[in-house]
Amino acid sequence: MGLPGTIWYLVVFLPRILYTLFCSMKKIGRFILIFLFLILIPAMAYFVMESSGASVNTPQEKVIYNLPYPGILSDHPLYFVKIIRDRLTEFLTRDNVKKAQLYLLYSDKRVAMAMTLAKKGKSQPAIEAFSKGEKYFLKIPDLLRAAKEQGGPAPSSFVETLKLSNAKHTELIGELMKTLPEGNQSGINGLLKLNLEIKKLLETLP
């Protein structure tokens, strides 16, 4: 390419190259501004809140644990039939680990029943059902200790399931605190006390 051709190339294409570079610089500048806005400003705001002693609320994750279907509720006329069946099954279950598993089922069902009753606006029956569920749960640690002494300890996976269930119950008590009307705080405090006692007992299990 001769000198005239080179000059023509520069005259035609150099402005385009410079314009492209200019536009690229503008895009980079915009990117930097967006970066500063999205990263630095929230970070500075968080720092200011921390320095002033303000708390930052973060949503708690839900406990992944499915409760069983509660079946007939305590407000049903035939509920007594369910009670008789449960007690008969409990009496016939002699193995400690199997009885512990049965009590977990009964406990979770009572908690599911409590949540259903609460949605129906039946506060006191809901608290009573939840309390019965936690009392079933309280029987489980002693059964597992007895099973271990007899040489038939429960699998570690079952202990982890118990801890998950207890955590789910804690979460649902929190939901009751939000949904039940005022005047039920004493009953809810009783549930919290039972739930905490269960948690401490589970921590002692191997």
Tens digit of pLDDT per residue, the chain (206 long)?
554 455 544 445 555 655 565 566 555 554 554 454 455 445 444 443 443 333 334 456 889 999 999 999 999 999 999 999 999 999 999 999 999 999 999 999 999 999 999 999 999 999 999 999 999 999 999 999 999 999 888 888 999 999 999 999 999 999 999 999 988 999 999 999 999 999 999 999 87
Determine what percent of the chain falls in helix, strand and coil, rounding each to the nearest 5.
75, 0, 25
Residue 61 is predicted with a pLDDT of: 82
Domains in the chain, number: 2
Same domain, 123 and 188: yes
Domain span including residue 42:
1-58
What's the length of the chain? 206
* Interior angle at CA 105, CA 100 and CA 108, nearest 5: 120
Q: Which of 25, 58, 91 is the last residue of a domain?
A: 58
Cβ proximity of 66 and 105 under 8 Å = no
Residue 125 is predicted with a pLDDT of: 96
Same domain, 184 and 148: yes
Q: For residues 114 and 130, give the distance between their C-alpha atoms in angstroms, rounded to a whole number.
A: 5
